[in-house]
Structure 1
Amino acid sequence: MSAEELDRKQIEILRILSEHVEPIGSSIIQRELAKRGFLLSERAVRYHLKILEERGFVEGHERIGRRITEKGLEELTRALAYERMGSILTKYMSLAYKTTYYPDNNSGDVVANITVIDKSHAEEAIDLIRSLYENGLLPAPYYMIIEENEEYRSVSAPEGKIALLTVCNLTIDGVLMKNGIPIFLKYGGLVQFLRRKPIRFVDVLDYEHTTIHPLEIFVYKRATSILNVLKTGSGMVPANMREIPAEAEEKTIEIIDKMVRKGWSGILKIGRSNEPVLGIPVSLDRFGISMAGGITPAAAIVERGIQVETFAPHCLANMKDMKKV
């Protein structure tokens, strides 16, 4: 099995095992994975451990725990070297490419963001999602809640928590890609709103040269003011910008219009060829599109003073499994 073929979750399991001298069990591995952005159930952890054991990368038993083998350490070294060659941009565009959403019948897999919160705040979070959608700050009016005793596509919530899944705007990118339109995801940042209209980007980070989610930085720095936008129309909203070849402008707008008719939203600005978008220049013979960030619900929940863990974007979810706000 080559480094390229190792599942990212399996790489992280090997990394966790390499950090422990003594054998550790699946419950400890599950907690460590959650800290690193992988919300797996114990059953899913055991499944991956079984695969790793079959390939000789780990040894031990469920009762005494597992430890990494010499072969596993060698494979981890190769895998990490390969992983460093990639970037967060590659991860995001790979997720976008995996979408199977079809606007015509409103079905298929979408890219989902995950926000983990205390289950006592579930209703408050859903009300916020509804308000964000009504104000054009959410890509789509759909959500899913994974309870602490549930599992969905290997995603589970810690005890006393819920995992709130919302639709990421990478889904729109995925639909465009599946229609033969190249996407160049460029920047994540903060957009200033005034009188309920997006005015300009005030801070941006380049996706291509970062190893962490640019929008998460602004959320954890408490730099957003989404609740102010909902209340007064003015404030800062996390957003991103992508570029598209000018020749695809007509087809792009046609597809986005179709999605808007299906209830999609969150498009802040579609620029013209070679013209800046909310103050950000675009490359030659391209036009830009800015969208409200998929992390916006998590940011709004943080502004309410609710503690969150956010994993955005994280996985795929099927539209038939989601509820409409």
Structure 2
Amino acid sequence: MMENTDSKRLLILKILSEDDQPLSSQIIKERLQERGTALSERTVRFHMLALDKAGLTEYKGKKGRYLTASGYREIARNQVYDRVGFLSSRIDELSYQMNFNWKKRTGTVLVNVSLVPLENSSVVYHLMAPVFESGLTMGQKVAVFCPGEKVGDVEIPEGYFGMGTVCSITLNGVFLHSGIPVTSVFGGLLEVSGSRPDRFAAIINYNGTSLDPLEIFISSGMTDCRGAAEAGHGLIGASFREIPASSLDEVTEIHQHLVEMGLGGILKVGYSGHSLLEIPVADGRIGIITAGGLNSISALVEADIPVRSKALSGLIEYDRLIMYTDLFEELGRTRS
């Protein structure tokens, strides 16, 4: 890992992290220009060679370069923020667009989409089930997408199936449409000890990043969701939100109904003026820690299955979701 990765190289790493395929120096040059950084292709190659040498990128011949696990860790360590507030704004926008009615159990919810090779479909349920059973992920429902289907701007390619996991931002949408404002503060790695949330080991503020924190942590190999679910000790993705203190009773009631319909995700609640897992909560506010929607997918990545995920992918109808207990049978149909 580089001791002093300068801003241009960090921006190159960020550009590579946004794409699922290797990028050439020419494409990287164009992406840099779009962000207001003008470099010659020769200069870009110079920086790329330095990143290769540091083990942060790897050259794939004519296809270009891709980001290594060390590269993702470098992004997480330096918190590459080239578009301040981008993710925070997207969270607010998608929360507003969501129209799920928890009383009628109809409408749209927000999902993350993960691309999983069809050849791995037989083991997916067995790896994911313990995470769902432990309650360390967002709800207990998922959606399965076939090749050719499109969710948001993600299209499922041939040779893959799509796993739609409920994004924790769904809670924002539900509360918002109930008249309860929600402030999403940060996403982080939550240490679980004795099957209970213990402390945050790393955090990335939403109002300062264009990357989803959990995507970074998963790609960097920093999670241990299987350990947390199966042994009660590990690191999972989680987020920290705040709501008005006066809304606590209503939020508690709504969340109880969401749990009944497979959409619960709150792990811990803090009170006004008191810290929550060492995170201070302002007067007049309530702190909420929610489980990451991609935690069940982390179990696949930790088992060395080559999964590609995109958080906050798009909105789908609630009735498209199935209980995770039906996942084995549903995936069986993708193999037939």
Does the pair score TM above 0.5? yes
TM-score by length of 2: 0.69
Count of matched residue positions in the alignment of Structure 1 and Structure 2: 253
How far off its partner does 1:291 sit? 0.7
Whether the 8 Å contact between 2:137 and 2:265 is mirrored in structure 1 is yes
Is it true that 1:186 corresponds to 2:185 in the alignment? yes
Aligned partners of 1:274 and 1:125: how far apart in 2? Answer: 43
How far off its partner does 1:293 sit? 0.8
Alignment-derived partner of residue 310 in structure 1: 309
Q: Once superposed, what is the RMSD of the aligned Cα atoms?
A: 2.6
Q: 1:210 to 1:162 in 2, by over 3 A?
A: same
User: What per-residue deviation string (whole Å, max 9, x for no partner) do you get for residues 50-86 of structure 1?
Assistant: xxxxxxxxxxxxxxxxxxxxxxxxxx89xxxxx9575
Alignment-derived partner of residue 243 in structure 1: 242
Whether the 8 Å contact between 1:112 and 1:165 is mirrored in structure 2 is yes
Is it true that 1:298 corresponds to 2:297 in the alignment? yes
Aligned partners of 2:125 and 2:104: how far apart in 1? Answer: 25
Gaps in structure 2 of 5+ consecutive residues: 1-16, 21-33, 36-81, 325-336
Gaps in structure 1 of 5+ consecutive residues: 1-33, 38-75, 78-82
Alignment-derived partner of residue 219 in structure 1: 218
SS of equivalent residue, structure 1 residue 276: coil
Residue identity matched to 2:258:
M
Is it true that 1:114 corresponds to 2:136 in the alignment? no
Q: Which moved more, 1:208-217 or 1:237-246?
A: 208-217
Residue identity matched to 2:109:
V
Q: 1:202 to 1:322 in 2, by over 3 A?
A: same
Residue identity matched to 2:270:
G
How far off its partner does 1:284 sit? 2.7
TM-score by length of 1: 0.71
How far off its partner does 1:104 sit? 2.1
- Paired residues for 1:142-221 under 5 Å: 142-151=141-150, 155-221=154-220
User: What per-residue deviation string (whole Å, max 9, x for no partner) do you get for residues 162-187 of structure 1?
Assistant: 11111111111110000111111001
Residue identity matched to 1:184:
T
Alignment-derived partner of residue 88 in structure 2: 89
How far off its partner does 1:131 sit? 2.3
Q: Which moved more, 1:128-137 or 1:153-162?
A: 153-162
Aligned partners of 1:211 and 1:163: how far apart in 2? Answer: 23
Aligned partners of 1:154 and 1:221: how far apart in 2? Answer: 24
User: What per-residue deviation string (whole Å, max 9, x for no partner) do you get for residues 89-145 of structure 1?
Assistant: 110121122222222232211000011110122242233333222110222222222
Aligned partners of 1:141 and 1:221: how far apart in 2? Answer: 25
Alignment-derived partner of residue 137 in structure 1: 136
Q: 1:35 to 1:187 in 2, by over 3 A?
A: closer
How far off its partner does 1:152 sit? 5.1
Q: 1:273 to 1:163 in 2, by over 3 A?
A: same
SS of equivalent residue, structure 1 residue 305: coil
SS of equivalent residue, structure 1 residue 101: coil
User: What per-residue deviation string (whole Å, max 9, x for no partner) do you get for residues 215-258 of structure 1?
Assistant: 22211221111111122111111100101111222221121122
Residue identity matched to 2:206:
Y
**Where does structure 1 differ by over 6 angstroms across 4 or more consecutive aligned residues?**
none
Alignment-derived partner of residue 271 in structure 2: 272
SS of equivalent residue, structure 1 residue 115: strand
Alignment-derived partner of residue 102 in structure 1: 101
State the identity as a percent. 30
Whether the 8 Å contact between 1:136 and 1:267 is mirrored in structure 2 is no
Whether the 8 Å contact between 1:188 and 1:214 is mirrored in structure 2 is yes
How far off its partner does 1:150 sit? 3.6
SS of equivalent residue, structure 2 residue 121: helix
SS of equivalent residue, structure 1 residue 163: strand
